[in-house]
Amino acid sequence: MANLKEVRERIESVKSTQQITKAMKMVSAAKLRRAQQAITQMRPYSDKLNDMLRNILSNLDGDVNSSFGVEREVKKALVVVVTSSRGLCGAFNNNVIKSAVANMKEKYAGVDVDIMCIGKKCNDYFKKGDYAGQLISDHVELFDDLSFDNVSQVSQSIMDAFSEGKYDSVSVSYGRFQNAILQEPVTTQYLPVEKIESEGESSAKADYIFEPSKDQLLEYLIPSILKITFQKYLLDTHASEHGARMTAMDNATENAEELLKDLKISYNKARQEAITKELSEIVGGAAAMESGS
């Protein structure tokens, strides 16, 4: 059994760690509230716009030339991986990376794939090993400013590359925020825009009225919706990061409390053992003195 000094030092060390995990949990909880508010406000708006975009492109029947809905034979693809730039958030980042890797192996098997990383953790993973040659760019500082103007610069570059034919398909892997406990790793097709598969009565062509003109409106509308959708991916990941970190720090605090209980039991046992030993020595010494006299 460890001596009293070693157990005391371990208890103090665990207490210090517990204080840090408690503080990190509180910080993450405060940041989560802001991040959760941002994504809950953005998601319904983005999802509705995205549904409208898919519906429009599904019913144009070639009336308008929109390069973002054109499906081509996939010869070269781009995979955008969105993770956090900091750790201590459990398996969140690893799960997103696993989702991206699985997508590359299943959907893009035999296809030339480039990888764009947003967030330091995925960049650290893909810049080494078998994927080092596929990493084309990283935006590790993008989470410092998630404003629409800043994020749209990245989404615009992706859209331009697709329109120019550099890529035939673009997928995004990110963490979809459900709640503070659940963050779902998701890989979705960003470009070309997936069309709605119509069945039965819903196959009727949507009756849209475009003003001032169909071409002029869609030229502005489609890129704007795609930029909003891309920003939603980052806001989802941002909220997921803080939710995962808060949960991880809460679990770490509870584990530290359990460890402290075990260490205190060990400390009391060691102290009792030391007291018993001292009493035995005293009794033994007294007995020896009595027998000597």
CB 218 within 8 A of CB 226: no
**pLDDT single digits (tens) 96-108:** 999 999 999 999 9
CB 215 within 8 A of CB 64: yes
Average model confidence (pLDDT) for the chain?
A: 87
**Residues annotated as part of the active site:** 89
**pLDDT single digits (tens) 209-235:** 777 777 777 778 889 999 999 999 999
CB 84 within 8 A of CB 237: yes
pLDDT value of position 203: 44
SS3 209: coil
| pTM, 2 dp | 0.83
> Does residue 223 have a cis bond before it (omega within 30 degrees)?
no
CB 25 within 8 A of CB 253: yes
CATH 3.40.1380.10 fits 22-248, yes or no: yes
User: Closest Cα to residue 229, out of 42, 63, 65?
Assistant: 42
In the DSSP assignment, the letter for residue 164 is T
Q: State the Cα–Cα distance between residues 118 and 141, nearest whole angstrom.
A: 8
Span 268-284, mean pLDDT? 83
**pLDDT single digits (tens) 51-66:** 877 777 776 655 455 6
CB 77 within 8 A of CB 165: no
